[in-house]
Amino acid sequence: MPTAASPARIAFADGTVLRGRSVGAQGTVGGEAVFNTGMTGYQEVLSDPSYRGQIVTMTYPEIGNYGINPDDMESEKIQAAGFVMRQCCDVPSNFRSVESLSAFLIRSGIVAIDGVDTRAITRKLRVGGAMNAVLSSDESKSDADLVALAKNQPSMAGLDLASDVGTKKPYEWTEASVAATFGSLIPGGALPRLTRQPHVVAIDFGIKRNILRLLVACGFKVTVVPAGHPAKDILALKPDGLFLSNGPGDPAAVTGGIATVKELVKTDLPLFGICLGHQILSLAYGASTYKLKFGHRGVNHPIKRVSDGAVEIASHNHGFAVDPKTLPAGVRMSHVNLNDNTCAGIEHEQKPQFSVQYHPEAGPGPADPLYLFSRFREDIWKRLK
């Protein structure tokens, strides 16, 4: 268990160095410093592949109070590079908890710090933008050493992380989600029975497990394929629908994935993309993406649906966005983030192809966006009638 005598530091590329307590593994790690505004969900954040290469600061002051349990993992391990908190709870209280957050971080080899001013870090990143940082418990390194290391970290812009974070070979996912029990996943009742189970192929750019669970809950047979899987091999699996997953890094750098999706959108197969999948779909259409100043990471972002003005509250985790002005004819913006008016979704005007910039599977409290899975399901059912 960490103690007050276990020091750690976080050093930023602008020269700022903050001191606190080491609450994770010993060592030094670098990455892009970002912040997440969620009051809960720290385990999902840590295990979300979209956080690969990032040092995550939680803005809520106490983290870890309900501990860790294996059922809430979004992947097989912690994906974030490092973790920053105001206060890490040493003694969790929850009937589902199997270990403390600190024990989880130490066991996973993740460097983490608490006892620092997370409000100051958040303000720094909001004003100056996301910047590189180094997190260290190594007392032999000077502050100047850590700042130099932070300055030498690679930029997230131009970095293809999605091709490495996902699966290396195809597999079938069979576990369904209990999330289907809250909110109405299938508005208007059950859809007609079919003579066979629809087959969805999901391209894994860093997919979250709850996305896969919800796809199974929709009644699909789900095959997951690597990010670099060729379009011809995907089509050879005879899918009834295609899914493009979330993931880390710069979408424009995932050139193999973009090339694959360019071929797939030529078909009339129903297609649904989330987060990085949304950006890759947009790039495949010929649009462009850009890096946001400090990104969107939290569980309470307001999203307006352009078609009817309805507002939904959704979970976000991305540092890049689609430029809606570059969308080609026949593709329109379907959703907008009301915090900064950035593009939060697109849809094809003639084909059943759509995507969103947020995470409808996350269920941070409301189940507002679950209708998107229902929409995808209905698109596939219509094609199979």
What is the set of active-site residues? 275, 359, 361
Q: Which of 367, 307, 369, 310 is closest to 338 using CA atoms?
A: 310
**Half-sphere exposure of residue 355: CA atoms within 13 angstroms, side-chain side:** 26
Q: How far apart, in whole angstroms, are the C-alpha atoms of residue 169 and residue 250?
A: 23
Q: Are strands 221-226 and 171-173 parallel, antiparallel or unpaired?
A: antiparallel
Q: Are 41 and 34 in contact (CB under 8 A)?
A: no
Where on the phi/psi map is residue 280: left (φ > 0), alpha (ψ -120 to 50), or beta?
A: alpha
Q: Is 311 exposed, middle or buried (0-12, 13-18, 19+ CB in 10 A)?
A: exposed
What H or E segment, with its residue span, contains residue 145? Answer: helix 143-151
Three-state DSSP state, 329: coil
